[in-house]
Amino acid sequence: MSQLPTRPTGAQEKIDESAATGIRAMTLAIAVSTGLGAIKIIAGIVGHSYALIADGIESMLDVVSGFVVAGSLKIAAQPPNEKYPYGYGKVETVAALVISLGLIAAAVVIAIQSVREILLPHRAPAAFTLVVLVLVVATKELLFRFLSRTGETIASGAIRSDAWHHRSDSFTSLAAFLGISISLVMGAGYEAADDWAALFAAGVIAFNGAGLLRSAWREILDASLPDNVIDDIREIARNVDGVAGIDMCRVRKSGLGLWVDIHVEVLGDRTVLAGHEIAHRVKDALLASDHNVVDAVVHIEPMPTARQGLV
């Protein structure tokens, strides 16, 4: 059976490397969001476009979420200790939860202000704001794809959530582009078109935020991982010398790592010492896998007599 986890050097190196990759990605995202946010807010004020100002505010929220994600990755990568025997991985999940709630809150604020702008007469936006929005949409979409790919590579829910911050930003920018274009083409009476666009974008942001909130909540509650991950872990254990079968396998994700609880069947005539050695071989195989397994609790069971003739 497993003792208090002292994360193997190999596993710790993989998790440290993943965290470093994530932090580098977030540093880039923070720099880009800061620049674009400032450009959009200034252009929105000068060009009389609330949709562009709202878009800039959402970009500034991306900066805050970027710092949250980078900090959570640094903390989550720390190894388990006596006080926190299961490590700090849930910090990364909590960060994903906070970011998704931030998306929903931003959507509510943008929606409220959009309605106010729709009800108040104002000037049509300036044409130059369209050029700014084209630049923003292209940049944010590239940033979304970069962060989404990074999040998938290192299995970070927080980075995937932050990637959707940027995808939502590109949605609001696209909606603003359409709204401003309508107000400029249609002329008098359509000055509020970009505010309607901002309202529509708020709905898109809220929808994505709700989806990310559900994903983070499932991880906090230790929901089951995808079947292909479970099946692969079972197969790794099954291929260890001395293992006759796999009874039960539970896997939960915590931050950048996985925790495995597995019941391994061995032939009934094995000694306690032999069973203990098999358990250690199974654990070593799981820790050496590509799944960033932080620790594995291996329980040995005798294979039922009725099935032993099939081995």
Calculate mean pLDDT across residues 209-220: 84
Structure tokens at 272: 């306690």
Q: State the Cα–Cα distance between residues 156 and 162, nearest whole angstrom.
A: 10
Burial 37-63 (b: 16+ CB within 10 A, else e): bebbbebbeebbbbbbbbbbbbbbbbb
Put the strands of the sheet holding 245-254 in their side by side order: 245-254, 257-266, 293-302
Domain map (residue ranges) of the chain: 9-220, 227-308
Please state which of the ranges 4-8, 173-177, 247-251, 296-300 shows the lowest mean pLDDT. 4-8
Q: CB within 8 A of 101, min separation 6: which ones?
A: 209, 213
State the distance between the two ends of the chain, measured CA to CA, in whole angstroms. Answer: 24
Instruction: Kindly indicate the confidence band of residue 305, based on its pLDDT and cuts at 50, 70 and 90.
Output: low
Question: What single letter denotes the amino acid at residue 5?
Answer: P
pLDDT tens column, 123-160: 667 788 888 888 888 898 899 999 999 988 887 877 88
Of 136, 109, 95, 104, nearest in space to 205 by CA: 104
Instruction: Identify the residue whose tokens are 């962060």.
Output: 147
Of 216, 192, 21, nearest in space to 99 by CA: 216
Q: Is the pLDDT of residue 65 over 90?
A: no
What superfamily would CATH give domain 227-308?
Cation efflux protein, cytoplasmic domain (3.30.70.1350)
Q: Is the pLDDT of residue 11 over 70?
A: no
Instruction: Identify the residue whose tokens are 């960033």.
Output: 292
Question: Which pLDDT does position 2 carry in this prediction?
Answer: 42
Helix (H), strand (E) at residue 277: helix 272-287
Ramachandran angles phi, psi of 294, nearest 5°: -80, -45
Between strands 245-254 and 257-266, the pairing is antiparallel
Which one is the CATH code of 9-220: 3.40.50.2000, 3.30.70.2190, 1.20.1510.10, 3.40.50.300? Answer: 1.20.1510.10
Of 234, 167, 177, nearest in space to 205 by CA: 167
Question: What single letter denotes the amino acid at residue 82?
Answer: E
Q: E strands within the chain?
A: 245-254, 257-266, 293-302
Say what angle helices 50-76 and 9-47 make with each other, to 10 degrees: 170
Question: What single letter denotes the amino acid at residue 175?
Answer: A
pTM score, two decimals? 0.66
Instruction: Kindly indicate the confidence band of residue 1, based on its pLDDT and cuts at 50, 70 and 90.
Output: very low
Please state which of the ranges 35-44, 143-152, 175-184 shows the lowest mean pLDDT. 175-184
